Structure 1
Amino acid sequence: MELEWIDWLSVALFFIISLAIGVWFARSAGKSAKDFFLSGRNMPWWLLGISMVATTFSADTPNLVTEIVRKDGVAGNWTWWAFLLTGMLTVFIYAALWRKSEVVTDLEFYELRYSGKAAAFLRAFRAVYLGVFFNVMIMATVCLAAAKMGNVLLGLTKGETLIIAGVVTVVYSSLGGLKGVLVTDFIQFIVAMVGSVWAAMIILDLPEVGGLSNMISSPALSGKLDFIPDPTDLNVFVPLFLIPIAVQWWNVWYPGAEPGGGGYIVQRMLSAKDENNAVGATLFFNITHYALRPWPWILIGLASLLVYPDLASLQSAFPNVDKSIIGHDLAYPAMLTYLPHGLLGVVVASLIAAFMSTISTHLNWGSSYVVYDFYQRFIKPEAEEKELVLVGRISTVVLMVLAMLFALVLESALEAFQILLTIGAGTGLIFILRWFWWRINAWSEITGMIVSFLVAIYFNVIHEEFFPDLEAYQVLLISIAITTIAWLTVTFLTRPTDEEKLLNFVKKINPGGIGWKRIYQKISLEKGVKSQPGEMYNKSKIPLGLAGMLTGTFSVYSALFAVGYWLYGEVYLASLMTAISIVSFVIMFRIWGALRKVYISER
């Protein structure tokens, strides 16, 4: 596939605009480390929300969704759709708590919530573990997708694609800081959405596909269109739907969908003007991410089954493509080769935008861990702001190089996704409970982190010799059980966090909930407390937050299904889902209004 001058013009303009934004914000980002990593904590909800969506619209996401659809049909997407539950939990309960914490990174939370050397160790270790190791692995999956697209669409090798895209991304990320990333994300999201929707429309009209209605009625897609798997077929229903919706969302740590929030999602919330903007940004992200954005990818994935029904047809169509990257996820870039020139340039630019928005966010986020939670906290506490910015820019470059090197050994986006799920299995409950149960301590998190990692290593490297027939969902359940038992046992065998630390935490955050009852009672006995903790406890936001989470989840899933049914041409079901979604949204926003009054009363 060769791009013509009009295609290259679109790509060149996008690169120039991205670099210009980085240069424009370089001076303001370089004032201080907080400006570089948090944009001065004055960002509006809409810009932060769009940035969250743009970040999760990575170059590997269309490939991942396409692979899921080709293997397990539309219903296979519950492996990530289920994370809407934890997303809505973050919206209505955790977003305001994070903003009130006033930490610079989510790892700083450890020394706000826990005490002693264990808290310091946890912060330092996770700065390297998440900011470098885990972060590099995530970026490598995005780099892998970019390499596959570059190979199919442009005829570039893995190395050539990664060097070109990586250099531009690392330049504007290291110059403009978070503010540069946010503004670039805004432009990249518009380009990426226009490109994916436009591409889907053109591909559906291909002679091999025959239009949307013809594709939907094709026998080749039999069983692939259902939103929920057949409950009578337990071999499909359990792994594709029941496990994700019943267990995975609350007990698995995955970047961007952490139970209780974390990583770059928290970074965006901490950059918000106030609690209300933090909640609004996260709500906008979840609605857009789950209800609207998946459908262009799903439609292209379904269309690819008519054009390339198996891997052999893909290999035959692209004989010059590196055999090591031939997989179902290659079908997405393969379908894009049918686009006409002009549009092809826009779509290529949109894919570059998706790559750059995700990588730039992960670079800035990972660098913030290295700078604040490792270098300044443990290496050089007296470091001046300009030095911290310099360390941030250097670490940004190093992280990019490591990600590109690791991408060379990966083969599949789904493979990497499942590895990440296994590594985080069993730790999600800790991140939910640590805000609402005084007994969780630093050793709980250390144990969960170490055990989940060792279990993941076992199941990804060793277990086939002893248990060759285990399914992926069985591995996940076993991993969750082992990790949960381990960290709960250690929690009760170790000393709790120092009481003074717990008292200060509750006074600052006022999380509410029965898990803090004894701490609230102690606070109420102290003199000089303006707001009586008995009142604070009784005004707990948890019931309202849970109601918002449930109605929000219901409204977004209804909207997701409504869009799908309209596309399928099933008017009755589409109208019903639309009506349910509208009613649910109205109730949800009323609950949000009640929560806003609580936030205002606490200031």
Structure 2
Amino acid sequence: MELSTLDYSFIIVFFSIVLGIGIYVSKKSGKSSSEFFLSGRTMPWWLLGLSMVATTFSTDTPNLVTDLVRTTGVSGNWGWWCFLLTGMLTVFVYAKLWRKSNLNTDLEFYEIRYGGKAASFLRKFRAVYLGIFFNVITMSAVTLAAIKIGGIMLGLEPWETVISAGLITVIFSALGGFKGVVYTDFLLFFVAMAGAIGAAFYLVNIPEVGGMQAILESEHVRDKLNILPNFSDKKAVITILIIPLAVQWWSSWYPGGEPGGGGYIAQRMLAAKNENHAIGATFFFNIMHYALRPWPWILVALASLVVFPDVASISAAFPNVPADKLGHDLAYSAMLTKLPSGLLGVVLASLIAAYMSTISTQLNWGSSYIVYDFYKQQINPNATEKQMVAVGRLSTVVLMVLSAFLALAMQNAMGVFNLLLSFGAGTGLIFILRWFWWRINAWSEISAMFSSGILAILLETTSLKPFLFDPETGLMPDWAELPFIMVFTSVVWLAATFLTQPETKEVLRSFYQKIQPGGPGWNKVVDEARAEQVEIVNSQEKWSVPSGITAMLLGVALIYSLLFATGYWIYGRTTAAFILTAVAIVSGILLIRAWNRMKDNLL
């Protein structure tokens, strides 16, 4: 595919602006580790919210959505739509707790909530486990998508894509730090949205597709349109809808969808001006991420079924694509090759923007773990601010190199998504409860982390998985894999919790005094402290979790209604669209009232 001078102009201008931002903020970002990783905790909600949206607007996401739509239909997206529930729980319950903690990274939480060597080990181990291992896997999945896009649209070899896509990203990430990431995310968001919407509108109407009505009537598309699975298909309902909504959202740890908040979402909450800005940022992110942004990708995926109904048709159209990179996810890139000059440049710039936003965030977030939670804790406790910034920049480069090598060996983003879900299955409940139940200790988290990880590896690398889950010969149906890991992990961590000593009263009282979580799960600690004439309740704020859960449910109703209504407007099903739009409006009004009551709890 040939790029015109206009296309190259869009891309060159875009790269120049991004590099300019990184260079512009590099001096201030290098002043201290707080500036490099949190921008001095001065960020407003709207900028952080846009940054969260831009970060999750990665090159692998449209590929993943395309894969889901082409293989299981639009309803297959419930595998990630379900994380709206934990997102809303983070907004109305956990965002203010994270900002109140005033930590540098979410891993510092371990040494204010737990004590002793177990807490120290947990913090350092997860710094490596998440900051390097998980982070590299996530970035490699994003880079894999870039490789596929480069191969299909530009005819680039995988190594050429890795070098060209990664070089500028790692330069501005290492120079600009968190402030550079957030400032460029503001630009990247609008470029990425413009590209996604423009591509969807054009591709739906190309002659090979024939418009929205032709898509709806296509024999290859008709059974893929439903937003909910076919309820006559018991297996589809269980795997696509019931397990994600009943189990997955609260039990699984997944980057960007951590129960109770965490990772780069927590990093942005910690960088907010105050608690209200942390709440506003996460709420804005969830509306954009779930309600509005998926549909341009879904439309392109549906259109691709008309043009490329199977993988063989993609292979025939692009014979130079290596066999180990072929899959349904390639259909998104294949469709983009049909864009005209000018729009092609905008879309390519938007894909580059999506890639750079995600990778730069992952790099800064991962290096913050390495600096604060490993280097300063384990190697150089007396490290100066200058040394920590230097290590942060060095680790940024190393993480990029590791993810690039892993990406060259990968094949499919869907496999990575499922692997990460398996690794985190069963750990999510701890992340939700540890703020509100005094009995959870460091060994609870350590046992959950190792049991879920080891079991996931065993299922993927041995004959244990077909023995247990093969529908014909196994002991359980294949959809039971995630619930099995969750139940096994939960039994292990609950046993570890009650078989080990609780945290000391000094640790528990110190945590309560700092965070003021409230609730019946801390009554024992509060009552014992009062019996010793020690007052640890120093806030007049009423326990807001019941009101927060009400607000969460209303927020879920609002966003799911908007998601469905948008889809039905596109499908031309106006009656359902009107009803769901009305539900969204009513949910929004009730949510505003619930939020005002939460604020009124401050006496």
TM-score category (smaller protein)? over 0.9
Q: Work out the CA distance in 1 between the residues paired with 2:278 and 2:75.
A: 31
Match of 1:477 among 467, 478, 483: 483
1:313 aligns with 2:313: yes
Equivalent position of 1:243 in the other structure = 243
Q: Work out the CA distance in 2 between the residues paired with 1:465 and 1:440.
A: 34
Q: Work out the CA distance in 2 between the residues paired with 1:285 and 1:226.
A: 25
Equivalent position of 2:273 in the other structure = 273
Equivalent position of 1:214 in the other structure = 214
Shift of the alpha carbon at 1:594?
A: 2.5
Equivalent position of 1:335 in the other structure = 335
375-384 vs 185-194, which moves further: 375-384
**Could you give the per-residue CA deviations for residues 43-63 of structure 1, whole angstroms, max 9, x where no partner exists?**
000000000000001000000
Q: Work out the CA distance in 1 between the residues paired with 2:378 and 2:551.
A: 40
Shift of the alpha carbon at 1:572?
A: 0.8
CA contact (8 A) 1:63 1:413 kept: yes
Which residue identity does 2:597 align to in structure 1? A
Which residue identity does 1:542 align to in structure 2? V
**Could you give the per-residue CA deviations for residues 164-220 of structure 1, whole angstroms, max 9, x where no partner exists?**
110100000000110100010010010000000000000011112111122122232
CA contact (8 A) 1:524 1:532 kept: no
Shift of the alpha carbon at 1:589?
A: 1.9
Q: Work out the CA distance in 2 between the residues paired with 1:472 and 1:192.
A: 37
Question: What are the within-5 Å matches in structure 2 for residues 282-297 of structure 1?
Answer: 282-297=282-297
Match of 1:521 among 527, 534, 537: 527
Equivalent position of 2:393 in the other structure = 393
Which residue identity does 1:449 align to in structure 2? M
**Could you give the per-residue CA deviations for residues 226-247 of structure 1, whole angstroms, max 9, x where no partner exists?**
1111222111111011100110
Shift of the alpha carbon at 1:465?
A: 5.7
Equivalent position of 1:567 in the other structure = 570
Equivalent position of 1:497 in the other structure = 503
Shift of the alpha carbon at 1:472?
A: 5.2
1:202 aligns with 2:202: yes
**Could you give the per-residue CA deviations for residues 434-475 of structure 1, whole angstroms, max 9, x where no partner exists?**
011001000000000000110010111112563461565321
1:578 aligns with 2:584: no
Q: Work out the CA distance in 2 between the residues paired with 1:487 and 1:497.
A: 15
Which residue identity does 1:370 align to in structure 2? I
Which residue identity does 1:252 align to in structure 2? S
CA contact (8 A) 2:269 2:278 kept: yes
Q: For 2:122, what is the secondary structure of its paired residue?
A: helix
Equivalent position of 1:546 in the other structure = 549
Q: Work out the CA distance in 2 between the residues paired with 1:394 and 1:484.
A: 38
Q: For 2:503, what is the secondary structure of its paired residue?
A: coil
Number of aligned residues = 597
**Could you give the per-residue CA deviations for residues 328-382 of structure 1, whole angstroms, max 9, x where no partner exists?**
0000000000100110010000000000000000000000000000011121111
**Could you give the per-residue CA deviations for residues 25-45 of structure 1, whole angstroms, max 9, x where no partner exists?**
001100100000000001000
Equivalent position of 2:467 in the other structure = 466
Shift of the alpha carbon at 1:518?
A: 1.0
Equivalent position of 1:352 in the other structure = 352
Which residue identity does 1:494 align to in structure 2? T
1:125 aligns with 2:125: yes
User: Runs of 4+ in structure 1 displaced over 4 angstroms?
Assistant: 525-533
1:588 aligns with 2:586: no
Which residue identity does 2:553 align to in structure 1? L
222-231 vs 82-91, which moves further: 222-231
**Could you give the per-residue CA deviations for residues 472-505 of structure 1, whole angstroms, max 9, x where no partner exists?**
5321111111111111111100001111111111
Q: For 1:438, what is the secondary structure of its paired residue?
A: coil
Q: For 1:305, what is the secondary structure of its paired residue?
A: helix
Which residue identity does 1:469 align to in structure 2? D
Which residue identity does 1:450 align to in structure 2? F
1:379 aligns with 2:382: no
CA contact (8 A) 1:455 1:479 kept: yes
**Could you give the per-residue CA deviations for residues 91-143 of structure 1, whole angstroms, max 9, x where no partner exists?**
00000000001111000000000011000000000000000000000000000
Q: Work out the CA distance in 1 between the residues paired with 2:243 and 2:518.
A: 30
Question: What are the within-5 Å matches in structure 2 for residues 525-540 of structure 1?
Answer: 525=531, 527=533, 529=535, 539-540=542-543
TM-score scaled to structure 2, two decimals?
0.97
Q: Work out the CA distance in 1 between the residues paired with 2:583 and 2:193.
A: 26
1:447 aligns with 2:453: no
Equivalent position of 2:474 in the other structure = none
**Could you give the per-residue CA deviations for residues 233-279 of structure 1, whole angstroms, max 9, x where no partner exists?**
11111101110011000000001000000000000000000000000
Equivalent position of 1:4 in the other structure = 4
**Could you give the per-residue CA deviations for residues 533-581 of structure 1, whole angstroms, max 9, x where no partner exists?**
7x66xx2111101001100001100000010010010111101100100
Q: For 1:475, what is the secondary structure of its paired residue?
A: helix
Which residue identity does 2:588 align to in structure 1? F
Q: Work out the CA distance in 1 between the residues paired with 2:600 and 2:369.
A: 34
Match of 1:508 among 514, 517, 523: 514
Which residue identity does 1:588 align to in structure 2? L
Q: Work out the CA distance in 1 between the residues paired with 2:536 and 2:254.
A: 40
Q: Work out the CA distance in 1 between the residues paired with 2:184 and 2:567.
A: 30
Q: Work out the CA distance in 2 between the residues paired with 1:93 and 1:119.
A: 24
CA contact (8 A) 2:469 2:481 kept: no
**Could you give the per-residue CA deviations for residues 387-424 of structure 1, whole angstroms, max 9, x where no partner exists?**
10000000000000000000011100101100000000
Identity of aligned residues (%): 56
Residues 587 and 526 of structure 1: CA distance in aligned 2, closer, same or farther (over 3 Å): farther
Shift of the alpha carbon at 1:522?
A: 3.0
Equivalent position of 2:73 in the other structure = 73
Question: What are the within-5 Å matches in structure 2 for residues 37-76 of structure 1?
Answer: 37-76=37-76
Q: For 2:223, what is the secondary structure of its paired residue?
A: coil
CA contact (8 A) 1:46 1:284 kept: yes
Unmatched tracts of structure 2, length 5 or more: 472-476
CA contact (8 A) 1:459 1:475 kept: no
Residues 204 and 456 of structure 1: CA distance in aligned 2, closer, same or farther (over 3 Å): same
**Could you give the per-residue CA deviations for residues 129-160 of structure 1, whole angstroms, max 9, x where no partner exists?**
00000000000000000000000111111110
CA contact (8 A) 2:516 2:537 kept: no
Shift of the alpha carbon at 1:512?
A: 1.4
Question: What are the within-5 Å matches in structure 2 for residues 63-102 of structure 1?
Answer: 63-102=63-102
Equivalent position of 1:326 in the other structure = 326
CA contact (8 A) 1:192 1:354 kept: yes
Question: What are the within-5 Å matches in structure 2 for residues 415-430 of structure 1?
Answer: 415-430=415-430
Q: Work out the CA distance in 1 between the residues paired with 2:345 and 2:423.
A: 38
Q: For 1:25, what is the secondary structure of its paired residue?
A: helix
Q: For 1:220, what is the secondary structure of its paired residue?
A: coil
Q: Work out the CA distance in 2 between the residues paired with 1:256 and 1:43.
A: 19
Question: What are the within-5 Å matches in structure 2 for residues 225-240 of structure 1?
Answer: 225-240=225-240
